[in-house]
């Protein structure tokens, strides 16, 4: 008789955004006359930029011609894309990252979930609280999180690093020493950013205690302030302690196209073993690479036209962020985020719980957001709105909330 992976049974409920989707669909079915505005999941709404569409068309034509047709992509990604990334995302910022240290994938969600596979099960992970749920859930599935306590909504073997208003939503160094530290900045869900100096402290700490940092920089394109780092490799010593995850979803609208990458410097080692070689082995065995067409679209993100068009797209979403932030402040809400990230983090009014506020907004304003507690216990009483809607919907959602 086959047996299942029992770790899956430990997971409480379903994936946060699936739970929300079900709730919203049920409400929509019961109230077909209501126009619901969805500012919940961080999914983009603007069409792909013309430079990207043109690259996609060009690559499709190539696939239809025997002379330029491509089959399996190279395991670790096409050279043209890895070169463009190394040049534009790293060299241009003074970071020493070479094309061969970049692994192309179909997105940061998969990479952030899969990367834990190359680490031993007895490693202890540390996560920000609140946190993007994928980091914790995938460690639960692997059997690295221990037991769930439904009262505290925490896992026995996970080190939680609270990110609260008191610490500017930036974690303090943990009291217990973790082996693997997940950091995401600019942050999902709080929209908070940390300075280069603060990140340098984490790099120094990781090198001192022998931890690895898994740094999720999916939202770096939204950084507007000078002293906020775009990459962990802007910090001295990061090559010996940090893996960086990047996505094309938020900076180029690829949520439906799928493209991302992971950087593992050669110097990052456990004893004599380089993590780069382990991830290359895993990638080669389990992954057939992002499609050629999509990698050509990714290359276009770095072209002059692509860069200009995407700057405008990011500015469009950040105008939404500013509108939400300003409007909610005027309505008396306590609001943060939205300056270096497309997420606005607000306190539910009148001491309401996150889920009560979710229901209240859905029913009274027909606006969908994400309950902060869904990201971890320290998110209780908070709520996340995304700036990824259309401008018109964003304005209407804010007006509806203000009118409550």
Q: Residues 240-279: x/- map of binding to ligand MLT (CB under 6 A)?
A: ---------x------------------------------
Going by C-alpha positions, the residue among 314, 87, 303, 95 that lies closest to residue 218 is 314
CB nearer ligand MLT, residue 189 or residue 289: 189
Neighbours of 63 (CB within 10 A): 14
Binding range to ligand MLT, per CB under 6 A, among 39-47, 53-61, 223-231, 350-358: 39-47
CB nearer ligand MLT, residue 190 or residue 200: 190
Binding range to ligand MLT, per CB under 6 A, among 37-45, 160-168, 287-295, 394-402: 37-45
Q: Does 109 bind ligand MLT (CB under 6 A)?
A: yes
CA-CA distance, 200 to 206, in Å (whole number)?
10
The residue number whose beta carbon is nearest to ligand MLT equals 42
- 299 burial (CB, 10 Å; 0-12 / 13-18 / 19+) is buried
CB nearer ligand MLT, residue 43 or residue 359: 43
CA-CA distance, 102 to 82, in Å (whole number)?
6
Helices (H) and strands (E) in the chain, counts: 13, 17
Instruction: Report residue 185 CA to chain centroid gap.
Output: 9
Helices assigned H by DSSP within 64-174? 79-85, 108-114, 133-142
Q: Residues 119-158: x/- map of binding to ligand MLT (CB under 6 A)?
A: -------------x--------------------------
CA-CA distance, 53 to 26, in Å (whole number)?
35
Residue choice 20, 39, 41, 300 for contact with ligand MLT (CB under 6 A)? 41
Placement of tokens 């009291």 in the chain: 175
Q: Does 42 bind ligand MLT (CB under 6 A)?
A: yes
Q: Interaction with ligand MLT in 182-221: which residues (CB under 6 A)?
A: 188
Interaction site with ligand MLT (CB under 6 A): 41-43, 109, 132, 188, 249
């Amino acid at each position: 008789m086959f047996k299942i992976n029992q770790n899956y049974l430990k997971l409480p409920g379903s994936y946060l955004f699936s739970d929300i989707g079900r709730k919203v669909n049920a409400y929509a079915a019961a109230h077909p006359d209501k126009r619901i505005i969805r500012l919940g999941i961080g999914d983009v709404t603007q069409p792909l930029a013309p430079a990207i569409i043109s690259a996609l068309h060009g690559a499709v034509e190539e696939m239809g011609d025997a002379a330029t047709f491509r089959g399996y992509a190279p395991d670790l990604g096409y050279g043209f894309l890895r070169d463009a990334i190394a040049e534009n995302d790293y060299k241009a910022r003074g970071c020493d990252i070479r094309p061969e240290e970049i692994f192309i994938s179909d997105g940061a969600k998969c990479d952030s979930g899969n990367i834990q596979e190359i680490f031993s099960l007895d490693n202890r992970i540390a996560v920000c609280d609140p946190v993007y749920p994928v980091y914790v859930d995938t460690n639960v599935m692997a059997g690295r999180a221990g037991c769930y306590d439904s009262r505290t909504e925490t896992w026995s073997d996970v080190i939680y690093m609270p990110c609260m208003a008191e610490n500017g939503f930036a974690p303090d160094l943990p009291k217990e020493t973790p082996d693997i530290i997940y950091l995401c900045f600019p942050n999902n869900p709080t929209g908070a950013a940390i300075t280069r100096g603060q990140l340098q402290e984490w790099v120094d700490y990781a090198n001192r205690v022998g931890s690895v940092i898994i740094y999720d920089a999916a939202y770096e394109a939204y950084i507007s302030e000078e002293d906020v780092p775009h990459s962990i490799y802007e910090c001295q010593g990061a090559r010996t302690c940090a893996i960086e995850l990047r996505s094309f979803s938020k900076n180029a609208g690829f949520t439906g196209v799928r493209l991302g990458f992971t950087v593992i410097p050669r110097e990052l080692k456990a004893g004599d073993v380089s993590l780069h070689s382990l991830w290359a082995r895993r990638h080669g065995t389990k992954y057939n690479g992002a499609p050629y067409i999509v990698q050509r679209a990714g290359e276009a993100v770095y072209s002059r036209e692509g860069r200009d068009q995407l700057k405008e797209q990011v500015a469009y979403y950040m105008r939404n962020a500013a509108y939400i932030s300003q409007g909610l402040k005027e309505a008396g809400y306590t609001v943060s985020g939205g300056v270096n990230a497309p997420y606005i983090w607000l306190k539910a009014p009148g001491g309401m719980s996150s889920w009560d506020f979710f229901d209240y907004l859905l029913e009274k304003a027909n606006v969908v957001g994400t309950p902060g507690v869904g990201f971890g216990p320290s998110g209780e009483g908070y709520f996340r709105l995304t700036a990824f809607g259309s401008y018109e919907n964003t304005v209407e959602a804010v007006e509806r909330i203000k009118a409550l």
